[in-house]
Chain A
Amino acid sequence: GIQVEQSPPDLILQEGANSTLRCNFSDSVNNLQWFHQNPWGQLINLFYIPSGTKQNGRLSATTVATERYSLLYISSSQTTDSGVYFCAVPTYSWSGTYKYIFGTGTRLKVLA
Chain B
Amino acid sequence: DTEVTQTPKHLVMGMTNKKSLKCEQHMGHRAMYWYKQKAKKPPELMFVYSYEKLSINESVPSRFSPECPNSSLLNLHLHALQPEDSALYLCASSQDRGLAYEQYFGPGTRLTVT
- Interface residues of A, Cβ cutoff 8 Å to B: 29-31, 33, 35, 40-43, 45, 48, 50, 86, 88, 90, 93, 95-105, 107
Closest Cβ–Cβ distance, residue B4 to chain A (whole Å): 10
Inter-chain CA distance A106–B6, complex, in Å, is 25
- Which residues of chain B are within 8 angstroms of A107 by Cβ–Cβ distance? 40
Classify the interface of chain B: helix, strand, loop or mixed: strand
Identify which of A35, A43, A90, A102 gathers the most chain B CB atoms within 10 Å of its CB: A43
Q: Which of chain B's residues has its CB closest to A90's CB?
A: B100
Inter-chain CA distance A91–B44, complex, in Å, is 13
Contact between A102 and B98, CB atoms less than 8 A apart: no
Q: Is B31 an interface residue (CB 8 A)?
A: yes
Inter-chain CA distance A42–B43, complex, in Å, is 12
Inter-chain CA distance A13–B6, complex, in Å, is 33
Inter-chain CA distance A86–B97, complex, in Å, is 21
Contact between A43 and B55, CB atoms less than 8 A apart: no
Interface size on B, residues (CB 8 A): 29
Closest Cβ–Cβ distance, residue A53 to chain B (whole Å): 17
> Which residue in B2, B40, B92, B108 is a CB contact (below 8 Å) of A41?
B108
Contact between B103 and A95, CB atoms less than 8 A apart: no
- Which residues of chain A are within 8 angstroms of B45 by Cβ–Cβ distance? 99-101
Q: Is B42 an interface residue (CB 8 A)?
A: yes
Q: Is B29 an interface residue (CB 8 A)?
A: no
Contact between B42 and A42, CB atoms less than 8 A apart: no
Contact between B97 and A43, CB atoms less than 8 A apart: no
Inter-chain CA distance A101–B42, complex, in Å, is 9
